[in-house]
Structure 1
Amino acid sequence: MATHSHDFLGDAHDSNARRTRWVVWLSATMMVAEIVAGTLTGSMALSADGWHMATHTLALGVSALAYSFARRNNGDQRYSWGTGKVGSLAGFASALGLAAVALGILYESGLRLVEPRSVAFGEALVVAVIGLLVNLASAALLGHGHSHDGDHGHDHAHDHNLRSAYLHVLADALTSVLAIAALAAGWWFGIGWLDAAVGVVGALVILHWSRGLVIETAGVLLDRVPDQHLCDELRAKIEGPGDVTVHDWHLWAVGPGRYAAIVSATGATPSEVRRRLGDDKRIAHLTVECS
């Protein structure tokens, strides 16, 4: 008996996995460099940035493992709807981790505003610039795949795993830019408190990004209707001029840009319902019940 494929991974799954692995190696290398340099120079700011990058390296590692898990278990019949949503699960977990990191930065920055600490501005500035370059290179690698998530006309075809990794490196790039500005101001103008102040600003921006990713990925995991416009469009196709009545209609995401649908209708046969829907590539799995 023929079996129905449950391969709902995104078209760029393997390419995005390779990009993420490259970024993990770049981030891990820079993480070690910052922690070692911070320890040798006695720069608390640099050491803190290194440990901050360590948390992101861990999150990126989770993203890379999610890609591997999804591909390895893609044909496993124990996963009724395939492994296309593993990326959203990893994105949700990474977003929570990102929020935790932001809260940690916010707390530490608040302490430093109250009790300023000495910083080796010159040495820290050099390594912070190198860190920014690494972050920009990582963002370019991930951003290339991220910019193609919506190809083929699928406005909601987001690879949440790639997006979470992309936001992690953007968050690192943001904190690097703010750190460079603060370190430069402290070194050249003696404005030491700016280092902690920009830490607060960066943490709040990161919290905003993570909140958006949590909301989007949670919607996928909870089978929220992914695209109300698409839902209404497909239902209108089935009902046609009013000769068919749809009693029950469900649409949910099973992978990046791939949806499953269940239709219960009267006034038409299952084959007629399928004919009216047409060969829509977005509908990866369709169940029709007619009475």
Structure 2
Amino acid sequence: MVAEIIGGSLFGSLALVADGLHMSTHAGAMLIAALAYSYARKHANDPHFVFGTGKLGDLAGFTSAIILAMMALLIGYEAIARLLAPIPIHFSEAIPIAVVGLLVNIVSAWLLSGDDHHGHSHGHDHTHDQHAEHEHGEEMQLIKTPSGVFALSIFEDGVPPVFRMKVSTEGAELSAQDMTVTTIRPDGTRQVFAFSRTSDFLESTTDIPEPHAFKAVVTLPDGVHAVQFEEHGHDTHSVDTRDHNMRAAYMHVIADAAVSVLAIIGLLLAQMFGWLWMDPLAGIVGALVIANWSYGLMRDTGAILMDMSPNDTMANKIRETVEMAGDKLVDLHVWRLGPGHLGAVVSVSTKETLRGPAFYHAQLRRFQGLSHISVEVHTLQVV
């Protein structure tokens, strides 16, 4: 940062100065991100933060977005001024400094790329005879045996989660008495599930507790098979898991790298063809790139800070759950508390006199990512 700002000023490259100034915002973004994480961790259990400190990252991201926008305006202003009044550029000194700036940004981006800043990623560890695929409401594992291929899935589409076993090979058969599933969780806890026949598949007679991250040992007539289930079923896709604090820091270094590339291109073209206007033009393009990234980050974090509804997926799941129980949803509010966490306020009207808030808490608690639930129940008088 220091080398680019001083070198660009001494050797007459606005694009180099612009890259150095923007790199200073990169350093500032790192500091803001670090302070946000530190403060959020320190006050995670502070009762003054009614819904926790999850939004501090979004606040830090919004702040970084404003800094990005200010730098875009500054660089654009300086570039236009340089277009109107060009000055000589010392190319042999400016170009190497720009290359060093690009290398620093590439290394920084690589260091940050391992964090889950842009979305939620999933991974599996499958053996050679296992395969995972997803259908509506299911996470499925295929089990290949000498007698055929069987599909074990966790089904939770509008119902409490259960195991389902289907026969994937034509002619193969399996009865409920022929199989059991034993789940082994990371802490060593085991649970055995028995099955009963339902339509054209077998279904476990008991629900599967959250979370759905465990090894499932399947006992079949021809032997024992082990499959792995990860906690990333279809419900996770209804929750925004992006960390906008880390996203802001990552966005700074990616924008830095883009401006560094433009600075190098501008300097090379100006040196080769004598186009001194290419250097400030590169600064203008860089300013536009930064402004675009700033707008996107400001839009996303601003929506969260204003408690805009993240999407309709979780709201629809809550609505379906209430209506499937035969009740009426009177009012519903869903909002983001932090990365991967949603809050919901639910008002229900029911004719069932024995149904209180605890009943709906139990029904809704199975949705991963729904971290805070407030339920209000209105019992209707039956005439």
TM-score by length of 2: 0.64
Name the amino acid aligned to 1:183.
L
Name the amino acid aligned to 2:331.
D
Shift in alpha-carbon separation, 1:92–1:147, aligned structure 2, 3 A: closer
- Identify the residue that residue 337 of structure 2 maps to in structure 1: 254
- Identify the residue that residue 193 of structure 1 maps to in structure 2: 277
Percent of paired sites with the same residue = 45
What is the CA distance between 1:189 and its match in structure 2?
2.1
Q: Secondary structure at the match of 2:307?
A: coil
- Identify the residue that residue 81 of structure 1 maps to in structure 2: 51
- Within-5 A mapping of 1:116-265: 116-146=86-116, 149-151=119-121, 152=232, 153-154=236-237, 156-240=240-324, 243-265=326-348
Q: Identify the structure with the greater strand proportion.
A: 2
What is the CA distance between 1:41 and its match in structure 2?
4.9
> Which runs of no fewer than 5 residues in structure 2 stay unpaired?
122-231, 379-383
Higher CA-based Rg: 2
What is the CA distance between 1:96 and its match in structure 2?
0.8
User: Relative to structure 2, which stretch is displaced further, 47-56 or 186-195?
Assistant: 47-56
Q: Secondary structure at the match of 1:80?
A: coil
> Which runs of no fewer than 5 residues in structure 1 stay unpaired?
1-30
The answer as to whether partners of 1:112 and 1:196 remain within 8 angstroms in 2 is yes
The answer as to whether partners of 1:249 and 1:263 remain within 8 angstroms in 2 is yes
Q: Secondary structure at the match of 2:22?
A: helix
1:178-233 deviation digits (Å, cap 9, x = unpaired)? 00100111122212111111211221122111111111101111111112122112
Name the amino acid aligned to 2:361.
R
Name the amino acid aligned to 1:254.
L
Shift in alpha-carbon separation, 1:80–1:215, aligned structure 2, 3 A: same
Q: Secondary structure at the match of 2:366?
A: coil
Shift in alpha-carbon separation, 1:51–1:188, aligned structure 2, 3 A: same
Q: Identify the structure with the greater helix proportion.
A: 1
Name the amino acid aligned to 1:52.
H
- Identify the residue that residue 270 of structure 1 maps to in structure 2: 357
Name the amino acid aligned to 1:202.
G
What is the CA distance between 1:36 and its match in structure 2?
4.3
- Give aligned pairs, total: 260
Within the candidate set 89, 92, 99, 2:62 is matched to 92
1:161-183 deviation digits (Å, cap 9, x = unpaired)? 01111111111111000001001
Q: Secondary structure at the match of 1:144?
A: coil
Q: Secondary structure at the match of 2:115?
A: helix
Q: Secondary structure at the match of 1:76?
A: coil
Shift in alpha-carbon separation, 1:142–1:115, aligned structure 2, 3 A: same
What is the CA distance between 1:234 and its match in structure 2?
2.0
Name the amino acid aligned to 1:217.
T
2-structure distance, mates of 1:45, 1:143: 26
- Identify the residue that residue 10 of structure 1 maps to in structure 2: none
Shift in alpha-carbon separation, 1:212–1:194, aligned structure 2, 3 A: same
Name the amino acid aligned to 2:72.
A
User: Relative to structure 2, which stretch is displaced further, 125-134 or 274-283?
Assistant: 274-283
The answer as to whether partners of 2:15 and 2:283 remain within 8 angstroms in 1 is no
Shift in alpha-carbon separation, 1:43–1:111, aligned structure 2, 3 A: closer
- Identify the residue that residue 27 of structure 1 maps to in structure 2: none
2-structure distance, mates of 1:211, 1:48: 19
User: Relative to structure 2, which stretch is displaced further, 32-41 or 120-129?
Assistant: 32-41
The answer as to whether partners of 1:46 and 1:124 remain within 8 angstroms in 2 is yes
Shift in alpha-carbon separation, 1:187–1:146, aligned structure 2, 3 A: farther
